[in-house]
Amino acid sequence: MKRKLNCLFVINLLIFAQVFPKKAIDLPSPYCDLKEVLPFNGHGWYTNGVWIEKLMKQNKIYTVIEVGSWLGASTRHIASLLQANGKLYAVDTWEGSVEHYENQEWKKMLPTLYEQFLSNIVHAQLTDRIIPVKSTSINAALDLKNQINKVDLIFIDAGHDTESVLNDLVIYWPFVQNNEGVLCGDDWYWESVRKAVIIFAKNYKLTLYADDNFWFLKKEDDFNLKSFKTSSNDVWIFDRLQ
> Does the residue 37 lie in any domain?
no
> d(Cα 188, Cα 198) in Å, to the nearest integer?
10
Q: Please say whether the beta carbons of 76 and 49 come within 8 A.
A: no
The predicted structure's pLDDT at residue 44: 84
> d(Cα 226, Cα 217) in Å, to the nearest integer?
10
The predicted structure's pLDDT at residue 221: 86
The predicted structure's pLDDT at residue 110: 83
The predicted structure's pLDDT at residue 23: 58
Give the strand pairing for 63-67 and 153-156.
parallel
> d(Cα 231, Cα 209) in Å, to the nearest integer?
9
> Does the residue 17 lie in any domain?
no
DSSP state string for 44-96: -----HHHHHHHHHHS---EEEEE--TTSHHHHHHHHTSPTT-EEEEEE-SS-
Q: Of how many residues is the chain composed?
A: 242
> Does the residue 76 lie in any domain?
yes
The edge-to-edge listing of strands for the beta sheet with 214-218 is 130-134, 87-92, 63-67, 153-156, 182-186, 214-218, 207-211, 224-226
Q: Please say whether the beta carbons of 67 and 158 come within 8 A.
A: yes
The predicted structure's pLDDT at residue 4: 45
> Does the residue 21 lie in any domain?
no
- CA 238 to chain CA centroid, nearest Å: 20
Residue 9 burial by Cβ neighbours in a 10 Å radius (0-12, 13-18, 19+): exposed
CATH number of residue 50's parent domain: 3.40.50.150
> Does the residue 10 lie in any domain?
no
> Does the residue 173 lie in any domain?
yes
Q: How many domains does the chain have?
A: 1
The predicted structure's pLDDT at residue 145: 93
Nearest 10 degrees: Cα torsion 49, 55, 56, 58 = 140
Q: pTM of the predicted model, to two decimals?
A: 0.88
Among residues 113, 124, 35, 115, the alpha carbon closest in space to that of 88 is found at 124
The predicted structure's pLDDT at residue 99: 67
The predicted structure's pLDDT at residue 25: 65
Print the domain residue range for 105.
Answer: 43-241
> Does the residue 133 lie in any domain?
yes
Verify cis geometry, omega within 30 degrees of 0, for the bond prior to 111.
Answer: no
> Does the residue 157 lie in any domain?
yes
> d(Cα 132, Cα 74) in Å, to the nearest integer?
13
User: Which pLDDT tens digits describe the chain residue by residue (242 residues)?
Assistant: 444 444 444 344 344 444 445 456 689 999 999 999 999 999 888 999 999 999 999 999 999 999 999 999 999 999 999 999 999 999 999 997 766 666 677 778 888 999 999 999 999 999 999 999 999 999 999 999 999 989 999 999 998 899 999 999 999 999 999 878 999 999 999 999 999 999 999 999 999 999 999 999 999 989 999 999 999 999 999 999 99
Q: Please say whether the beta carbons of 120 and 72 come within 8 A.
A: yes
Please, what is the Cα angle at 49 between 20 and 149, to 5 degrees?
A: 85
